[in-house]
Structure 1
Amino acid sequence: MSGTSEGPAPAADLVSPAVTGSSEGTSSGAAEPSSLPGAHPIPPATDPPRPAAQPHSLGAAFTAAPLAMAVVDREGLVVTANETMGSLIATGTDALTGKVAADLVDLSSDARTWHAYREVLRGHQARLRCTRRLKHPDGHSRWVQVTVTPLPEAEKAVLLSVSDISARRELQAQLRHLQMHDPVTRLPNRTLFFERLSAALEAESYEESGTGRVGLCYLDLDGFKAVNDTLGHRVGDRLLAAVAERLTTCADEVGYARAATPLVARLGGDEFALLVEDSTGTDQLSELAESVLKALQAPFDLSGQRLSVSASIGVVERHAAGTTATGLMQAADTTLYWAKADGKGRWTLFDPERNAHRMTRQALSSGLRPAIERGEFALEYQPLVGMEDGRVRGVEALVRWHHPRFGTLTPNQFIGLAEEDGSIVQLGRWALKAACRQARRWQLERPDEPPIFVSVNVAVRQVWDSDLVADVAGTLAETGLAPHLLQLELTESAVMGSAGRPLQALQALSDMGVHIAIDDFGTGYSNLAYLSRLPVSVLKLDGSFVRGFQYEGTGVHPNPADEVIVEAMIQLAHRLGLTVTAECVETSAQASRLRRIGCDTGQGWLYSRPVPPDRISELVVSEACRPS
């Protein structure tokens, strides 16, 4: 038997380098060119050549030992070997005498091991231990552990022992395979996948022949939970195994004409990944994703159960340099979510701009509650102007977020997030108190003038998740503002059809004297039958109706239907005892037409944009909102 790497040994008494090896107790440095291994022995470092002493002291124990052993002189030649060594090397014991020991067990295949071996022979190092793969003449290989230790000084030799560890290595390989593979699908599992992914992203793995890029298709099955819930986990496992087979076939077909086949792994549950090393670009990953979707289209026949499934796939492709496994998986997970949100049964390519928007939303969402506590929010006010006289009757409070990173943000950029995570309750409570305090301050500043009311937007979640009635009552008592100077705005879709707690809260607020307004009226349910039963006092017409009115000097003809609808809604509101406010009034022509058909108040840039509180005081004093 001789050491090997690939293929047979080049000569009967010489060996080629082994595939793997490790040494223990070595010192630094490489083999000297003049001392490269071969058929010639190593000259001793100091002593002149002399025959090594025969190991007569070892006696019968040496000869009959089950451990393969040989005595090697300081020149590296075998002095004697026991029968076990002869059997292991597959040659007679006598034939080993005089052979170069390093060649027999492949100690010369790497410079580090070779240097350590020479140091032991010279007496400069206490021991060498390494692992080698040796090839038997019949073709099979075995793993051995080689140990070289000095014999007593009188022997002037070293003892080379070789133990067969093939069974242990095979067991280790089996255990690693079990550890690194999924028992249901037999695919590589999450651990092995990340091991391969990390290796693909390491700079040391880049080769001139490679692309330096990496691609990933991250998928899960749509509606797989329903299969487990209705048919049981056994059927679910069979489905996963069948899906794994199709994914593997798909990867093999895609990789047939390429340098490497994509790695298919099960990451857990119904999540799979296809890793493409040295990818050639997004086109390659797109083709792979398409082929996966096509492969899963045909129904699965599982022991009489015929099932159809689809998959959603997130596709990411980028330069390996500068990419981390965590970053790549985060991008893939985000893109998979997009594919789900876009309708399932499809693949979606990672979009940096879309991801930046998502990251911004996440940053805003996570910072909402702390921002309220830090006082980053402020209110601006837009006048609500009487159509007949142009006087400021009230103001709508509009919240602004002075974000330290993103600048001043308007409600449409964060109110939806606040409603999603529930922070709208805390934010709404703050806005209510701030607006009421400001309205009371204006009243005290102008005690001889009619006070202006303040209108505050209320989200539906504030009605459900907090005691809005108690909050309003407490705020009015704290600020001293009269209830009729507070107006609460709710969207039409939130008010129409209200029942139970929301309706009770609105009725309680109305009984308290607070005005209730329906915002954006005309765009939601528009169930007019509810108007007579709801405690509503104001309708705010959506700006889309006003925009349809004629603009001065534009040559655009008005839409008669818009004016007819608006006039009808105003007449109906007045019949029910309600007042009407028109939003988005931007031109004098619009204001004139609204005034002619009986609209009570207007709001829009014609009168003023949202402004800080001190500007409202100026507008009220100067009556600057009166149209010319």
Structure 2
Amino acid sequence: MSISHPRLHATAYDELQQREEWFRAVFEGSALGISVVNLQGHVMEANAAFQRMVSVPVDELRRIPFVTLGHPDDREHDAALFRRLVDGRLSSYQLELRYLRADGGTFPARLTVSLVRDEDGQPRFCVAMLDDLTQRTRAEAERDGLEERLRHLALHDPLTGLPNRVLLAERMRAAVDSLAHEPGARCAVLFLDLDRFKNVNDSLGHGVGDELLRQVAGRLAACAGPADTVARFGGDEFIIFLPRAAGREQALAVAGQVRKALDAPLQLGSYETYTTATIGIALADGTGGSPDDLLRNADMAMYHAKAVGSVLAVFDGAMHRAVMERLGLETDLRAALAREELRLAFQPIVALATGAVVGAEALVRWDHPLHGHVSPQRFVSLAEDTGLIGALGAWVMGEAARQLAQWRLELPGAAGLEVSVNVSPRQLRDPGLVQAVATTLGEHGLPPAALKLELTESSLVEDPATAAGVLRALKRREVQVYLDDFGTGYSSLSSLHRLPLDALKIDRSFVSEMDGSSTGAYRGAEIVRTIVAMARSLGVRVVAEGVETREQLAALRALGCDYAQGFLISLPLPAAEFEAAFLRGDTPFTWGDPLR
């Protein structure tokens, strides 16, 4: 016999009531839409969140089949899962689907439906929970949009909006790979380098330069077909890639359109200017080669066009051989510098008033172990292009100073000898040049006037402000500067007046015109006369280069030129021969008599 205790019954009742209140609070306060659905699929109860999501009040919900709340295209799948749940083949299911709003729109949601059983395990009802995914979907869309924008930024040039090198490489790789499966198909690359872009940047500012690039980009894009790619390769370089080129003729036709498009003036704010482009073209088929090879070949063709003064060149095998030879020569030049395989030759400079050798120009020479004598014009320009000119110039200056110091120390006749060395435009832009000259003089115990620096007119006009600053710094250290190849058309009297120069070297082209009695000889003599008069007004000396005949020498002396050098006096000589001929000779040099 059991005895029920009233207090125990009250406690159980209280706990049940508390659980019901807790469930009701969760049910009503949940941000999830929750509904209780009978086994026939009709809503028995729904919380406020569920009613708000489907925009249907609970009284109406009780009259609507549960699965009809979803989008018509999603109902069949939902209904099939619900039947399997009620039949006991599923304990729950979850899917993402769309629900209808009162305004006819839809929203994405995640539906989770679970079967609730009684104490005997028999199905009683279902609980459906609805999670509105609108915010998540919007966040995903924003993320996808951000990713797309980031991808666009990663693959396009921010200034012009054109594809950049990364996207260009992707498209070229796909096109080149497909060529192998299409016999006879070809692709082409046009490599464009804008001419005189640096002048616009330097004179009008980077903002104007950027606008020029944007306008050029638009004109180039207009020249390309829908399947072609116009890319900014970097700086003022652009690429036009033709993934399916009919051949050389089509590439040339596009190049012609580009040049025509660039003929029209560019309006850059308040400035009107023009630009042109040098174009290199390379073609490829499916027989081999990579996108990098194609770009390299087009680049070679562009530089070849610049080198020969053309506006356009199409790559061929000879260009590649020339580039490989140049690359090999660069490697050999680096080795020659490291192993001190170079040597100096000295060409005497004479005072026309006395005939005495007062100085020499130090000229670098290279006898290649395989190729023999390599012309200075070839390897010095190579050094300038590859950045080796700094090391080469430092070696020339140091070796010339060493040799001069040795002559001055050992030979009484060389006590007042001076040596000049050439300084390239790149060296002139080196902020360490002035200190390097001072260090070289100090190491060899030479006075500043013993070492002359020869600069070309072109190096002074590239950056006049920097050049003037360097010249003034050299002047403060009493180092003398000669202006080489004077008269080639770069300098003006006003610019010369502001530069602290010590001598002008008349270009050999004017000296060579002075022979005979022709109009050309008269013109040459008048030019030299004018240069000498200009030098006198500036208080600087004059050196004539390239003297090859007695007539030239006599005319230069009559015109008041101070110094002369050239083959008439002597070829450039190795140090030992120069010493024997001019520093140890018993017979003094008589001007007008060739020595070599």
Q: Which TM-score applies when normalising by structure 1?
A: 0.52
| 8 Å CA contact retained: 1:379, 1:397 | yes
Q: 1:188-207 to 2 correspondence within 5 Å?
A: 189-198=171-180
Give the equivalent residue in structure 1 for 2:509: 544
Among 373, 386, 389, the alignment partner of 2:351 is 386
Q: Is the 8 A contact 1:312 1:336 kept in 2?
A: no
Does structure 1 conserve the Cα–Cα contact (< 8 Å) formed by 2:173 and 2:291?
A: no
Residues 177-236 of structure 1 show CA distances to partners (whole Å, capped at 9, x for unaligned) of xxxxx9x99x99434423234467xxxx8xxxxxxx87542246899xx9xx88999xx9
1:505 corresponds to which residue?
470
Q: Which structure carries more helix by proportion?
A: 2
2:568 partner letter: L
The alpha-carbon distance between structure 1 residues 526 and 345, as it changes in their structure 2 partners (threshold 3 A), is closer
Contact 1:314 1:337 in 2 (8 A): yes
Residue 448 of structure 1 deviates from its aligned partner by 5.2
Counterpart of 1:610 in structure 2 is 572
Q: Which residue does 2:241 correspond to in 1?
A: 272
Cα distance change on mapping 1:405 and 1:317 into 2, 3 Å = farther
Instruction: Please report how far the alpha carbon of residue 267 of structure 1 lies from its aligned counterpart in structure 2 after TM superposition.
Output: 9.8
Aligned residue for 1:536, secondary structure, equals: coil
Q: How does 1:152-301 map to 2 (within 5 A)?
A: 189-198=171-180, 216-219=187-190, 243-245=224-226, 271-274=240-243, 285-290=247-252, 292=254
From 563, 566, 570, the equivalent of 2:532 is 570
Instruction: Give yes or no for contact 1:390–1:625 (8 Å, CA) kept in 2.
Output: yes
Q: Distance in 1 between matches of 2:260 and 2:364?
A: 54
What is the rounded CA distance, in whole Å, between the counterparts of 1:390 and 1:602 in structure 2?
A: 9
Tell me which residue corresponds to 1:352.
Answer: 317
Query: Unpaired segments of 5 or more residues in structure 1?
Result: 1-181, 206-212, 248-263, 277-283, 300-309
- 1:529 aligns with 494
Q: Name the counterpart of 2:202.
A: none
1:384 CA drift (Å): 0.6
Shift of 1:556: 5.5
* Residues 386, 602 of structure 1: 8 Å contact kept: yes
Structure 1 residue aligned with 2:374: 409
Structure 1 equivalent of residue 453 of structure 2: 488
- Preserved CA contact (<8 Å) 2:176 2:291: no
**Pairwise mapping of residues 334-349 of structure 1 onto structure 2 (< 5 A)?**
334=299, 337=302, 348-349=313-314
CA contact (8 A) 1:198 1:325 kept: no
Paired AA for residue 176 in structure 2: F
SS of the residue 2:363 aligns to: strand
**Structure 1 residue 437 corresponds to structure 2 residue 402:** yes
State the shift of 1:541 in Å.
0.6
> What is the one-letter code of the residue matched to 2:315?
F
**Structure 1 residue aligned with 2:432:** 467
Amino acid at match of 1:535: P
User: Which AA in structure 1 matches 2:437?
Assistant: V
Distance 2:341 2:461 in 1: 34
CA distances 1:71-128 after superposition (whole Å, capped 9, x unpaired): xxxxxxxxxxxxxxxxxxxxxxxxxxxxxxxxxxxxxxxxxxxxxxxxxxxxxxxxxx
2: distance between equivalents of 1:497 and 1:318? 39
Runs of 5+ in structure 2 lacking a partner? Answer: 1-154, 156-161, 195-206, 234-238, 262-275
CA contact (8 A) 1:217 1:314 kept: no
Distance in 2, Cα, partners of 1:490 & 1:424:
14
Give, in whole Å, the separation in 2 of the partners of 1:513 and 1:424: 24
Residues 547/298 of structure 1: CA separation in 2 closer, same or farther (3 Å cut): closer
- For the 8 Å contact 2:176–2:187, the answer to whether it is kept is no
Shift in Å, 1:346: 8.1
3-state SS in 2 of match to 1:414: helix
1:414 offset after TM fit, Å? 2.9
Aligned to 1:51: none
Within 5 Å, give how 1:55-204 maps onto structure 2.
189-198=171-180
Name the Cα RMSD after superposition. 4.7
- Alpha carbons of structure 1 residues 587 and 324: separation in structure 2 relative to 1, 3 Å: same
Q: Tell me the distance in 1 between the aligned counterparts of 2:398 and 2:259.
A: 58
What is the match of residue 108 of structure 1? none
* CA deviations over 1:126-183 (Å, ceiling 9, x no partner): xxxxxxxxxxxxxxxxxxxxxxxxxxxxxxxxxxxxxxxxxxxxxxxxxxxxxxxx9x
SS of equivalent residue, structure 1 residue 439: helix
CA distance in 2, matches of 1:624, 1:344: 44
Moved more, 508-517 or 437-446: 508-517
Native 8 Å contact 1:267 1:273 kept in 2: no
Partner amino acid, structure 2, of 1:411: P
- 1:354 Cα deviation from its structure 2 partner: 3.7
- Aligned-pair distance for 1:626? 3.8
Q: Tell me the equivalent position of 2:203.
A: none
The structure 1 residue matched to 2:550, chosen from 572, 584, 588, is: 588
Are the counterparts in 2 of residues 382 and 603 from structure 1 also a CA contact under 8 Å? yes
* 1:599 alignment partner, one of 561, 564, 574: 561
Q: Partner residue of 1:18?
A: none
Give the AA of the match of 1:487.
Answer: K
Query: What displacement does 1:624 show?
Result: 5.4
Partner Cα distance (1:613, 1:431) in 2: 13
SS at match of 1:380: strand
Q: Mean Cα displacement is larger for which, 580-589 or 484-493?
A: 484-493
> Contact 1:442 / 1:451 at 8 angstroms: preserved in 2?
no
Q: Tell me how far apart the structure 2 counterparts of residues 287 and 368 of structure 1 sit (CA, whole Å).
A: 40
**SS at 2:247 equivalent:** helix
Hey, what's the Cα distance between the residues in 1 that align with 2:484 and 2:520? Answer: 24
Contact 2:176–2:286 (8 Å) recurs in 1: no
Deviations for 1:512-560, whole angstroms, at most 9, x for unmatched residues?
3322211111224332234444322211111111011115xxx856532
Q: Deviations over 1:367-398 (max 9, x none)?
A: 55454223232211111122233321110011
Distance 1:214-1:338 versus aligned 2 partners, 3 A rule:
farther
Residue-pair matches, total? 393
Q: 1:287 to 1:396 in 2, by over 3 A?
A: same
Change (3 A) 1:320 1:190: closer
SS at match of 1:383: strand
Code of the aligned partner of 1:582? A
2:95 aligns with none
Distance 1:218 1:378, change over 3 A: same
Note the C-alpha offset of 1:241: 11
Distance 1:594 1:197, change over 3 A: same
Classify 1:446/1:328 alpha carbon distance in 2 versus 1 (closer, same or farther; 3 Å).
closer
> Which amino acid in the other structure matches residue 578 of structure 2?
I
Moved more, 506-515 or 595-604: 506-515
Structure 2: which amino acid aligns with 1:218?
V
**Equivalent position to 2:412, from 443, 447, 453:** 447
> Residues of 2 paired with 1:502 and 1:221: CA distance?
31
- The one-letter amino acid of 1:612's match is P
